[in-house]
Structure 1
C-alpha cells in the first residue's frame, strides 16, 4: 500500500504542475497531456505502471480548472444545487439551464481534463504495445494494464458524451470526438455520431470485462465495475433487456467484495481507510492526505454550490400507493455538515485533521436501481426481482415492511408508472450530490416518455424547457482554436 501511495502522490504532483501550465483554450486535439509518459518512455513494467497511475490521477479534483466543479454541474442543472458563495456568471447560467458557451472556466476545464485522461490512456496503450509480455512479473499483467487503461478511457468518454453529446438519441450526429490514439499534432477532428460514440465506449468496456483484474483495490478498474458501467451505458441507450441482464449478473455473482454496505452512514465515514475498502464501492477515485485530497466537500456548501430547499424537501416528501402513504425517507440519508450548507461532499472534507475522500464513480446502491428500472422497462411491468432491488436499497436505509404509513418498502401492488417514478426519486435521495445522476435521469425519463409529451424535465426543474440545452455547449474557444472543425451543439452560439 505504501508503494501505491508513493506512486500515486508523484503522479498527482506532476499532474498538478503540468496541468496548470496547459492552455485550456486549446482545441481538445491539441491538449497537452497533464501527466503521462510518452510512448517512447514506456519501456518496461515499471514505467507502464507509473503511466497507468497517471491516467488514474486525472480524476483527482483540485482547485480551479474545471474540477471538482464538473461533478457538481449536473446537480446545478437538476436543481439539487444552487450557486454558492463563489457564484459567478457561469454557475448562475447553469443553474437556470442556459449554460454559457464562451468565457467559461469550469466547463472548459472539465472538458479538457476528461480529454486529458483519454490522452494519457492513449499514450499508455501505444507505449505498452512493444513491451514483451514475458518481461512482466505476472504474465497477465500486461493485459490487465491495457484493460484498466481502456476502462478509464471508456469512463471518460462516457462522461463527455452525457455532458456534451445528445446521449439520449442514438440517431443523433451530435456525439463527441472519440480519441483512440494520442494527440501528436494540432489537427482537429469532427465529432463522431452518438451511435459510434457508444460503440467505442462499449468496445473498451468489453476489453475491461475480459481482462481487468477481479479486484486490486477499489480505486482501480475491475471486472465488476466494467460490467456495472456497461449495464449503465446500456440503460442510457434504452437497451433495457441487456442492461437488466448484465446488472443482475453483477449483483448475483460478484461475491462479498461487491454488495450493499450494512448501513448508509458507513459509506461516508471519512475517519478511516475503511472508506476505500467498502463492499458498497465498485470504483472510486480517492484522496490520500490533507494535502492531496479531492477537495470535493470544500466546493459544496459555500464555495461553488449549496443544496436547494427543493432537494431538502424530497427527504420529507411522500407518495400514496393504493391508499398507503409511503415516505421517501426519514432523513436517514440526508448528510449535511455543521455549517448547514453542504451535502454528502462535506462529509468527504472535514475542516481539520486527516482527510479521507472518495469520488464515487459507481456503488452498489446505484446498480440495484439500474437493475430495477431496466428490468421493469424490459418487462413492461414490475417484476418481483425489480421490486426487491428497489426495496433492498430502502431497507438498508432503515425502511420497514409493516404495511402502514411511513418510511416503508413499496408494495407488490405498485403500478409500473409509480414504480418508475419511485426508482427515479430513490436515486435523488440515495445518490444526490454524488455525481449528478439525477439530472441524466430527468433527461432519460423525458425521452423514454416521448420528449415533451409525457414526463418532462421541466416538471421537476421549471427553467429546463429547451431540450437543446439538456447538454452543455462545447467551449467556443476550443472550437475556434481547432479551426471550427468541431460542430457546436444546437442553440448555442
Structure 2
C-alpha cells in the first residue's frame, strides 16, 4: 500500500522531555527516520509521538490548503446540506460535494494517505516501547496510551468515510487496521465488526494506561493532548456510532462530570481561542503561525474569499435573537456591493466574536485551534443514547437536551413532553445546530440512515442522496487496490 512508502519526520525542536511543547505542539522535522529503524531511547519514542500529533495538521486531515480541505474538519458539512459552495470556490472539492467521486479521485487518496500516515507514525512510536516499562512505567504508559488512542482515532475516521456500515457487528466492508511498520505488510480490508474490535481494543488499553501516568498531560488552560478524559470522549463517540448506547451514555457522563459546559456568557470565546479555563474544550489540535489552518476551505479571512456559505436552512434553525450560537457561528461580510453570509467560527483569534478586523479586536488569518471534542457533543451523545434506550431513560435524555439548550439560549423554556421519536428528531436538529461546520453532518446523516437534500434556495440545483446509495461509502483509491491484492474495493465501484 502506498502509505508504506512514507518516511516519518520526527520533531526534535522540543526539549528532551517535551516540557517546551506542553503549551503548543510544534513540530519541526529536522531529520527523517526510515520506518524500519528502531529507537534506542524513550526520548525518541516521545519525539515520534509529537510527530503523530503534528500529522493531524496535514492538509488532508484537519488542515486546509490551496487545493485541499480538512477531510475530517469542514468537508462533512460541505458534503451535507449546511455549507453551500459558492462561485468563489472555483469548483474545488466539487467531486466530493456533488458525490461524483471515482476510484482515481486524488482528494480521496490524499485523505486515505493522511490518515494512514497518522497510523504509521503511531505504530513507530509504539514499536518496542515496552522494553522501557520496567525503568519508567508511568512515562511509558503516557506515551503508549496516547499513541494507541491516536491509532484508534485515525482508523475510526477512515471507517466513517470508507465503512459500508456503522453497525457494531456488521460483516460489511470496513478498513484495513495497520498495527505494524512492516513495509511489506499488505493488510486485507477487515469487516466493520473486525475494525471495531481493533478500535475498541486500542481505546480500552489507552484508557487504562492513561489512568496511571508519570505526569498530567493537560492543564486547565490547554488541552492539546489525548488524556484519559479525551479518550473517554472518543469512546463515547465510537460507541454511539456502533449503537452501543449504554456504553456511550456511561462514557459521555464521565466526560461531562470532568469538564462542564461553557456558560452562555463565555461560549463565544471558545471560537476566539480565548478561554483561560478551556471552557468545555476536551481536546483540540493546536495551530501556530506557519502551521496552516483548519478553516480556509470555508472562508479565507485575509482575502475575504467566501468559498462556502452557511445555508439558509441551517441558519433558520436558530433563535437568532437569543441563541449565542447564532452570533458565534454566523456573520455577514461585504465584498463590493454584495453582502455575503460567512461562517464566523474560524475567522481568527481575538477578543470580539463579531469583529471582522484586527483593529476591532480580531485577527483575520483563520489561525485557530481545531476543537475535536467539546462537552456540548457529550450532552448530545448522552441524550441520544438515553433516547435510544427508551423507557425510563427518555426523561433523562430530554433533560440533557434541555440543559444544553438552556446553556445556549437566553430565556429558554424547557420542552416537557416528547415521544421517543420526537426526542430523537429534536436531538438530531440540535446536533445540526450545536456542531455546525465541525465535521459531523455527513456522518450523522449516514449513521441515522436519513437522506440528504439540497433545495434550490441553497444550491444551483436541487440534489438529494437516499439512504443506501453507494456514495455513502467512499471508493478505495485505485492505486492502493493495484498495489495490494488483499485489498477489496468498496461495493459498487468495481
TM-score by length of 1: 0.79
Match among 30, 35, 45 for residue 48 of structure 1: 45
Match of 1:346 in 2: 346
Match of 2:129 in 1: 128
Match among 455, 474, 480 for residue 482 of structure 2: 480
1:329 and 1:82, CA in 2 relative to 1: closer, same or farther beyond 3 A? Answer: same
By how many angstroms is 1:202 displaced?
0.5
Aligned pairs for 1:306-325 within 5 A? 306-315=309-318
- 1:57 equivalent to 2:54? Answer yes
Aligned pairs for 1:210-229 within 5 A? 210-212=208-210, 215-216=217-218, 217-229=222-234
Tell me which protein shows more helix as a share of its residues. 1
1:343 and 1:380, CA in 2 relative to 1: closer, same or farther beyond 3 A? Answer: farther
Match among 365, 370, 391 for residue 359 of structure 1: 370
The CA distance in 1 between the partners of 2:120 and 2:280, in whole Å, is 30
Match of 2:245 in 1: 240
The CA distance in 2 between the partners of 1:220 and 1:117, in whole Å, is 15
Q: Is the 8 A contact 1:336 1:347 kept in 2?
A: no
The CA distance in 2 between the partners of 1:205 and 1:69, in whole Å, is 22
1:316-348 Cα deviation digits (max 9, x unpaired): 69xxxxxxxx99888355333645453244334
The CA distance in 2 between the partners of 1:36 and 1:110, in whole Å, is 23
The CA distance in 2 between the partners of 1:143 and 1:438, in whole Å, is 35
1:86 and 1:161, CA in 2 relative to 1: closer, same or farther beyond 3 A? Answer: farther
Match of 1:147 in 2: 145
1:83 and 1:348, CA in 2 relative to 1: closer, same or farther beyond 3 A? Answer: same
Aligned pairs for 1:190-229 within 5 A? 190-212=188-210, 215-216=217-218, 217-229=222-234
Q: Is the 8 A contact 2:271 2:328 kept in 1?
A: no
The CA distance in 1 between the partners of 2:131 and 2:37, in whole Å, is 10
Tell me which protein shows more strand as a share of its residues. 2
Match among 221, 231, 240 for residue 236 of structure 2: 231
Match among 270, 275, 281 for residue 267 of structure 1: 270
**Structure 2 runs not aligned, ≥5 long:** 1-17, 58-62, 300-304, 335-339, 350-355, 456-461
Q: Is the 8 A contact 2:323 2:408 kept in 1?
A: no
Q: Is the 8 A contact 1:336 1:346 kept in 2?
A: no
Match among 97, 103, 120 for residue 95 of structure 1: 97
Q: Is the 8 A contact 1:94 1:100 kept in 2?
A: no
By how many angstroms is 1:110 displaced?
1.5
By how many angstroms is 1:62 displaced?
4.9
1:8-65 Cα deviation digits (max 9, x unpaired): 43x2x42xx99xxxxxxxxxxxxxxxx7674644222321211110010011125267
Match of 2:396 in 1: 385
The CA distance in 2 between the partners of 1:420 and 1:370, in whole Å, is 11
Match of 2:417 in 1: 413
Q: Is the 8 A contact 1:119 1:179 kept in 2?
A: yes
The CA distance in 1 between the partners of 2:102 and 2:345, in whole Å, is 26
Match of 1:177 in 2: 176
